[in-house]
Chain A
Amino acid sequence: DAKTTQPNSMESNEEEPVHLPCNHSTISGTDYIHWYRQLPSQGPEYVIHGLTSNVNNRMASLAIAEDRKSSTLILHRATLRDAAVYYCILAYSGYSTLTFGKGTMLLVSP
């Protein structure tokens, strides 16, 4: 199974951009890259996903390396509400659901 590697934690200041990295060197050609986040005492929340091209939505941007061995979730202006655990997950074409890793805990300071 292709796995992801993320830093255990990162810190940011409010209103600054945040770049959350994820390595997935054994990714296969049909694996989608998903990002979810989990705020304290809540269920996980979908953030963004992509296959090969960079993706943007109202919450974030996803930058995927050309060789697809890594990706970066970009929060353009961090707010205190963005403090959460961020999970980078590979979704396999042959398996119908998500396998969560340990994720990155993002701390945001005022």
Chain B
Amino acid sequence: DTEVTQTPKHLVMGMTNKKSLKCEQHMGHRAMYWYKQKAKKPPELMFVYSYEKLSINESVPSRFSPECPNSSLLNLHLHALQPEDSALYLCASSQAVGPLYEQYFGPGTRLTVT
């Protein structure tokens, strides 16, 4: 099973809402990632978790709060977002961090902030 699942598929939220995105993998991978992708642009890295610890935060605003409760699960908590945060949010996992390992991506959550 090489599947990364993400829920929900679509999310519409207001600027005062709090919501969470969920990502799950059962491949035994110890590295997990959040990317953001705006329309017609390449994915941009947001966060990297390695062995359930945050190892990279690409200067992401604090209104995005990642959480890795266990090795299979990755959450992204959203609060007080802006309309410009509307994008496709992609989760990925790999066996470990490093250039040797390929990443497996989920289908993404398409977020619209109104």
Contact = CB atoms under 8 A, between A and B. Distances in A.
A45 B45 CA distance: 16
- Label chain A's interface by main secondary structure: loop
A103 B97 CA distance: 23
A49 to B, nearest CB: 6
B60 interface: no
Contacts of B31: 96
A100 B33 contact: no
A91 interface: yes
A28 to B, nearest CB: 11
Contacts, number: 55
Interface string A94-110: 00111111110000000
Classify chain B: how many residues form its interface, as a range.
Answer: 20 to 34
17 contacts: A31-B99, A32-B100, A36-B103, A42-B108, A43-B92, A44-B43, A44-B90, A49-B102, A87-B42, A91-B99, A93-B98, A96-B50, A97-B33, A97-B48, A98-B45, A99-B45, A103-B42
Interface residues of A, number: 23
Contact of A46 (B33, B90, B97, B104): B104
